[in-house]
Amino acid sequence: MSAYKLETAPFDPRFPNQNVTRYCYQSYIDFHRCQKKRGEDFAPCNYFQKVYKSMCPNAWVEKWDDQRESGTFPGRI
């Protein structure tokens, strides 16, 4: 038996449709805002990370990470 518990992101009433692009993007932004405001060790921020890592394609996350590092990320964090 595996020690991992697989879960998907829970339903969010702000995003009722099947298209999860906005939910993915907003969770990514919420995670980084939370870390910026509360610090990297603030455990509740991990909820947003879990959501965006399960909802977003890896290529998008890598692109956004690169954009954040270079200062060209279009979102407000």
CATH superfamily of 20-70: Cytochrome c oxidase, subunit VIb (1.10.10.140)
Residue 36 is predicted with a pLDDT of 93
Q: What residue ranges do the domains of the chain occupy?
A: 20-70
Torsion of CA 39, 60, 74, 15, to 10 degrees: -80
d(CA 39, CA 30): 13
Low-confidence ranges of the chain (pLDDT < 70): 1-2, 6
Residue 27 is predicted with a pLDDT of 95
